[in-house]
Structure 1
Amino acid sequence: MTAAVTPLRRPGSARVGDAQAKIDELQKQCLMQDVEESLISAILGRPQDLDSVADMLQPQHFGFPALGRMYGACLALAQAGRRIDPLALLPFFEADDALSDVGGAGYIMELAGEFTPSGSITEYARVIVDMWKRRQALAAISAAAVAIAYPEVVEPADAPLAALAGELETLQTTATARPVGPRPLASVMHEFQAFLAEGPERRRNALNTGLADLDTILGGIMQPDLVILGARPGMGKSTLMRHVTRHVAHRGKRSVVFTCEMSGLQVGMGYIQRETGVAISAMKGGTVPPADVSRMVQIANELASLPIEIDDASGLTVDQLHRRVRRLQQTGPVDLVCVDYLQLMRDQRHRGSRDPNRVQEVSAISEGLKAAAKDLQVPILALSQLSRALESRQDKRPLLSDLRESGSLEQDADIVAFLYREEVYAAQQQPADTEGESFTEWMARADRVKNLAEIIVAKNRWGETGVAKVRFDGARGLFENLAQGFQGEML
């Protein structure tokens, strides 16, 4: 006999009030009046220091309203080009009850007299913003708790949970107390000296692709690079991406693959094909011999231990990518983010548009990816389709100009590489007459370019450009170093 389910009921106001009182008590622990007063004192004592915090600290970040309004008044005076001092502040608070409650004009004079030059105004600002974020998080958690326990209508818990996750992610990625704006060249030179000192460590942390000639040109992929890998369909972009993620995973580096075109299962099949040589068509068609099935299961178990994560959500936006990577970073470092492929992403601002401008949308996406790479401090490898216009050229090797119809990809990218396999075009140009001289010439050409691929580094913000020649095994779906002249690892 099934037990009766008691429907959720709206609680009495006393129960909700008790819950809110507990949250209010927690929020009081996130108030630091002495820090907020010290910041106002610092501004009144050295008004020129306001510029160092004005971009990262807002009046609403203060926990004490009167102090927040004082800070806002200081901002208004600075914007008007007026001197900041206690007398200039007084007119802002002539009829302000909040200021009267804490001592009125005497309180402002008291704060001005407490200035000591030893304090760091930027550190005060960081603490104030941090406390604000804590209070906002508690408020969001409180609202979600009430919505989950006492819903207005009975609905799945996913809705309030999703709302809570969104608010917490927004808090995590915004209002970061970090100075912005112009800074002295001396500050940049100090940063450069630290950059030089970190050189050996940075080189160790650079991601190699496992393709020796390519790694020689690039010197590794470093954070926060945005790397664009462009090619026409059928060249093997996704295969090369899987090669890179597999290579770095075997070295303990964690990758996240956002696959907008294929399902997670299809991506997994690509990894299996590389290790076993079993065609994906055979896997899909269920025609894999029993002996291969057992070997594939073993390989699948081995691959399962690699630090590679796959997200196959369609209609991905940059904001969604940013939030999901940020969430993963809470569980451990993320070393590489891959997008397959960029043109299948969507820009939030263009969603629902009846006549979206794709060039503008792709530009917004590439700008967003570059900003995400910088904010997350992780390299992003984004695959990109190229226009079929290059097919009309005699030499079909891609050029940077082939990207210029795709918004600002070329400008935003730190590295632009193209994948080219002449073998693809040779196969399309087989003469109908298999007896003539033209067929003999075609056979020689096809043999010369068989299993050969070129990775053309057309832009490298950090160094050289050039062409890396590698071997492509289409049957197994893998790239590897050319054996000639290379004695290293064949991965």
Structure 2
Amino acid sequence: MNMTENDQQKEEGPLALGLRQPPANIEAEQALLGALLTNNRAYDRVSDFLAAEHFANRVNGRIFEAIARRIEAGQLADPVTMRAELEHSGVLESVGGMGYMAKLLGSMVGIINAGDYGRAIHDAWIRRQLIDIGETVVNNAFGISGGLSGPDQIEAGEEALFKLATEKGKEGDFVSFNRALAGAIEVAAQAFENDGHVTGLTSGLRDLDKKTGGLHPSDLLILAGRPAMGKTALATKMAFSAARAIMEDTSDKGGKPKGSVAIFSLEMSAEQLATRILSEQAEVSGERIRRGDIGQKEFDRFVRVSHELSSLPLVIDDTPAISLSAMRTRCRRLKRTQGLSLVVVDYLQLMRPSVGTRPESRVLEISMITQGLKAIAKELEVPVLALSQLSRQVESREDKRPMLSDLRESGSIEQDADAVMFVYRDEYYLQQRQPKETAFDSMDKYQTAMEDWQRRMGLVHNKAELILEKQRHGPTGTINLFFEGEYTRFADLDTMHDH
């Protein structure tokens, strides 16, 4: 074949594609409908994955819908009982009336094959959806619809494929109790080997691990709080501890780490987050590091610790306003290349929903984001820890400890989460209430108020509360933590601050 013929074939390729008929299996559709009309029990073989819209022939789809409606209402669906409904609705007019029902009955091979017919219909539908997605990708690339940049088009294409993959109605099945028991025993054995506490990934906080058993795959955990409470510091502590646990497990067994921790930092840059971790581990104030106000010994310690931490399986993505689809793609890639053990999102209100979606309200947008994060947790089988801001209504209360109701303005966060935690520091609010001399008419009253304030400050100094308000798999309650503001560091209270 010469070059000219090759070029001609390339030019004709798209035209030939355009002339192809979309995938369809009309014979399987007719055979299935015939089987359903002959014996309604055939419906049980396809009901959990097949829907009317999966049929290529619109009339066949409407007949299936009518049959399904009657069967699910506990009524008989056969040619006699279906006749009145189909004639009244005019469904059969375009295919020759009730004679088409006789054709369907003649197409029936046997109800034992109904599942195979259903899967053939469903497979053809998936292929048609793939063609539609492909056409949209091509049209967007040619700029026909406009409005989307190249990277946005990639995200939109990935999102459409993910939606098809997750919502295609694939068959589910029961898990035998025997198999479920085996899984439960495996989890119990893991807990026993880990001194009876942690079955998931460690959070680095002993008392939290006792209540939760660690961070578990497929769980969406929400860590919420008002600004300046230390959400990022606490999430960073958990991420760092998990990465160190992965590293230690690897060094015990030899070889490369089989997992990693991904932090999506939408508010702080990767450098700022790394400085926080270094500040905490080297015990050098982050503020002094930024000002350059550190001595040679502190700088040397800072550099030494940075070398020790450089091998941790911890990665940071600081893309601002990242979309759900981009996050999913990057997590999938990371799982494939390095393994993935934990995802941290700081914070979810700064995220965008998937490209191509336009939620009607902010509440709906947040709901789509939390549902998407839960989907990522389930699909990749990793815990997802998402930080969340709380509404200002907390500030208007006398007791400023957060409650679940403070989340409700933010869509379905509470509903989608497997665990909801609030971080609260009384010291922050009490600090703002320091008595001012000008507010008192005598020095004695001012001194009394000042002494009372100092006493109360002493009680809450360097203390924080982690309020586990919701947990699907275990108890709730308040966990007292040690908080060191200079290094923005959280730790177990009694080991660091024993009185």
TM-score by length of 2: 0.70
Query: Where is the helix percentage greater, Structure 1 or Structure 2?
Result: 2
Q: 1:239, CA displacement in angstroms? A: 0.8
From 275, 281, 284, the counterpart of 1:275? 281
Aligned equivalent of 1:209? 203
The separation in 2 between residues aligned to 1:159 and 1:317, in whole angstroms, is: 10
Matching of residues 447-458 of structure 1 within 5 Å: 447-458=458-469
Matching of residues 199-348 of structure 1 within 5 Å: 199-202=184-187, 204=190, 205-252=199-246, 253-285=259-291, 296=302, 299-300=305-306, 302-318=308-324, 320-322=326-328, 324-326=330-332, 328-331=334-337, 334-346=340-352
On the 8 A contact 2:29/2:60 being kept in 1, the answer is no
From 407, 415, 419, the counterpart of 2:419? 415
1:13 to 1:39, Cα distance in 2 relative to 1, 3 A:
farther
Q: 1:227, CA displacement in angstroms? A: 2.1
Q: Any idea what SS the aligned residue of 1:390 has?
A: helix
Q: 1:242, CA displacement in angstroms? A: 0.9
Matching of residues 391-410 of structure 1 within 5 Å: 391-410=395-414
Between 311-320 and 257-266, the greater mean CA deviation after superposition: 311-320
Q: Deviations over 1:313-334 (max 9, x none)?
A: 3334545544554554454654
Aligned equivalent of 1:6? none
Q: Any idea what SS the aligned residue of 1:426 has?
A: helix
Aligned equivalent of 1:48? 41
Matching of residues 442-481 of structure 1 within 5 Å: 442-481=453-492
Amino acid corresponding to residue 41 of structure 2 in structure 1: Q
Q: Any idea what SS the aligned residue of 1:251 has?
A: helix
1:75 aligns with 2:75: no
Aligned equivalent of 2:193? none
Query: Which structure 2 segments of 5+ residues have no match?
Result: 1-5, 191-198, 247-258, 438-442
Q: 1:371, CA displacement in angstroms? A: 5.2
Amino acid corresponding to residue 49 of structure 2 in structure 1: M
The separation in 2 between residues aligned to 1:473 and 1:193, in whole angstroms, is: 49
On the 8 A contact 2:261/2:342 being kept in 1, the answer is yes
On the 8 A contact 2:464/2:483 being kept in 1, the answer is yes
Q: Any idea what SS the aligned residue of 2:245 has?
A: coil
On the 8 A contact 2:48/2:169 being kept in 1, the answer is no
The separation in 2 between residues aligned to 1:120 and 1:175, in whole angstroms, is: 19
Q: 1:73, CA displacement in angstroms? A: 3.3
On the 8 A contact 1:455/1:468 being kept in 2, the answer is yes
The separation in 1 between residues aligned to 2:43 and 2:33, in whole angstroms, is: 9
Query: Which structure 1 segments of 5+ residues have no match?
Result: 1-10, 98-103, 181-186
Aligned equivalent of 2:164? 171
The separation in 1 between residues aligned to 2:19 and 2:295, in whole angstroms, is: 65
Matching of residues 78-227 of structure 1 within 5 Å: 78-79=68-69, 83-84=77-78, 108=104, 111-112=107-108, 114-115=109-110, 117=112, 121=115, 125=118, 129=122, 133=126, 137=130, 161=154, 164-179=157-172, 194-202=179-187, 204=190, 205-227=199-221
Q: 1:136, CA displacement in angstroms? A: 5.2
The separation in 1 between residues aligned to 2:213 and 2:172, in whole angstroms, is: 31
Q: 1:238, CA displacement in angstroms? A: 0.7
Q: 1:414, CA displacement in angstroms? A: 2.7
1:16 aligns with 2:20: no
Q: 1:419, CA displacement in angstroms? A: 1.1
1:312 to 1:54, Cα distance in 2 relative to 1, 3 A:
farther
The separation in 1 between residues aligned to 2:102 and 2:7, in whole angstroms, is: 45
Q: Any idea what SS the aligned residue of 1:198 has?
A: helix
Q: Any idea what SS the aligned residue of 1:470 has?
A: strand
CA RMSD of aligned residues (A): 4.9
Q: Deviations over 1:17-37 (max 9, x none)?
A: 346769999x99x99999878
On the 8 A contact 2:462/2:482 being kept in 1, the answer is yes
The separation in 2 between residues aligned to 1:350 and 1:338, in whole angstroms, is: 24
Between 423-432 and 364-373, the greater mean CA deviation after superposition: 364-373
Q: 1:298, CA displacement in angstroms? A: 5.3
Q: 1:237, CA displacement in angstroms? A: 0.6
From 385, 391, 401, the counterpart of 2:389? 385
Q: 1:241, CA displacement in angstroms? A: 0.7
On the 8 A contact 1:129/1:176 being kept in 2, the answer is no
Q: Any idea what SS the aligned residue of 1:313 has?
A: coil
1:169 to 1:349, Cα distance in 2 relative to 1, 3 A:
closer
The separation in 1 between residues aligned to 2:333 and 2:230, in whole angstroms, is: 30
The separation in 2 between residues aligned to 1:451 and 1:358, in whole angstroms, is: 36
1:428 aligns with 2:428: no
Q: Deviations over 1:133-165 (max 9, x none)?
A: 4675578669868998x999xx99757655654
